[in-house]
Structure 1
Amino acid sequence: MKTVSKNSIWLPALFEDLFLDNKLDVLNNYETFSIPAINIIENLTKFGLEIAAPGLQKENFHIEIEENTLKISYNKEIEDKETERNSKFIKREFNYENFERSFKLPENIELDKIHASYENGILKISLPKMEEKKVLKKMVEIS
């Protein structure tokens, strides 16, 4: 996504802090919710998803497929309510306690061979493609 400079004649720096940087989070609670970034990769044999989710526990991720839709969610209980009550965030740009992302899968994915791993803060999901049927080509002689 292209970043637009807000410091201009029409929108002076004085008003910069009044506007939210991430327009996608406006409908959600901006102070306590973020959606992790994702990469989608395709090669000849598979699709790959990489989700940037540093500091999360793999046990709290849930990946399910229903009607050709891949749903990735993360649910974590807030553990330290006392610290949260006695502290105030000056700025909060991430909080991955709960999130959900959904993706429509192409029809050529082998659902039973999908694999996921979580390493170094990246959740990787491998979506193997079905092998294409080889078309036999034969020349027929006209008599």
Structure 2
Amino acid sequence: MTLVKFNNGLKNNAVGPFFNDVFDSILNDSYFGNKLVARVPAVNIAETENEFHIELAVPGLRKEDFKINLDKNVLTVSSEKKEESVEEGKKISKREYNYSSFGRSFTLPESADHSKIEADYTDGVLKLIVAKKEEAKFQSREIAVK
């Protein structure tokens, strides 16, 4: 098998190409590449007339992996997942364990109804719906000019 290095556009400097090769191989190693990536899911927050919508992108998990807590007006979503790959009957030269976790907290406004929070996990997206209190819902009316 032949290993071909591509020129990434960097000019040869006084240090030489040796250091570029060393640092490229260290920084592009799968161990560092997989372990140093931020493991905080992206989130979308929207508000409608009657509720707040919080969506977290968390693919690869199951609904049993999530822990959702409400403490006063702080809603916390967290998850821990441990994976271990072991092949029996072979001499193991490398074994990788995978552990990932995250935690996101959201401060709910005073208009949120803490007793009406729903969660649904479908297709890698965790959707939280927080209802608004009746008095906080938008009320439209016409105001007469005197």
TM-score band, normalised by the shorter chain? 0.5 to 0.7
Q: Give the Cα–Cα distance (whole angstroms) in 2 for the partners of residues 58 and 86 of structure 1.
A: 31
Report the equivalent of 2:42: 37
Report the equivalent of 1:57: 62
Report the equivalent of 1:68: 73
Find the residue that maps to 2:83 and give its secondary structure: coil
Residues 35 and 116 (structure 1 numbering): CA distance in 2 closer, same or farther, change over 3 Å?
Answer: same
1:79, CA displacement in angstroms?
Answer: 2.6
Report the equivalent of 1:107: 110
1:132, CA displacement in angstroms?
Answer: 1.6
Between the two proteins, the alignment pairs up a number of residues equal to: 115
Q: Deviation string for 1:51-82 (max 9, x for gaps)?
A: 00111011010001001000000012x23154
Larger Rg: 2
Quick one: percent identity of the two aligned structures?
Answer: 40
Find the residue that maps to 2:104 and give its secondary structure: strand
Amino acid at match of 2:128: I
Please provide the CA RMSD for this pair. Answer: 3.7
Q: TM-score, normalised by structure 2?
A: 0.61
Q: Deviation string for 1:86-132 (max 9, x for gaps)?
A: 268xxxxxx88210000110011111110000001000000110112
Q: TM-score, normalised by structure 1?
A: 0.62
Gaps of 5+ in 1: 1-6, 8-13, 20-28, 89-94, 135-143
Instruction: Answer yes or no: is the 8 Å Cα contact 1:53–1:121 preserved in 2.
Output: yes
Residues 75 and 109 (structure 1 numbering): CA distance in 2 closer, same or farther, change over 3 Å?
Answer: same
Equivalent position to 1:80, from 80, 84, 91: 84
Is residue 125 of structure 2 the alignment partner of residue 122 of structure 1? yes
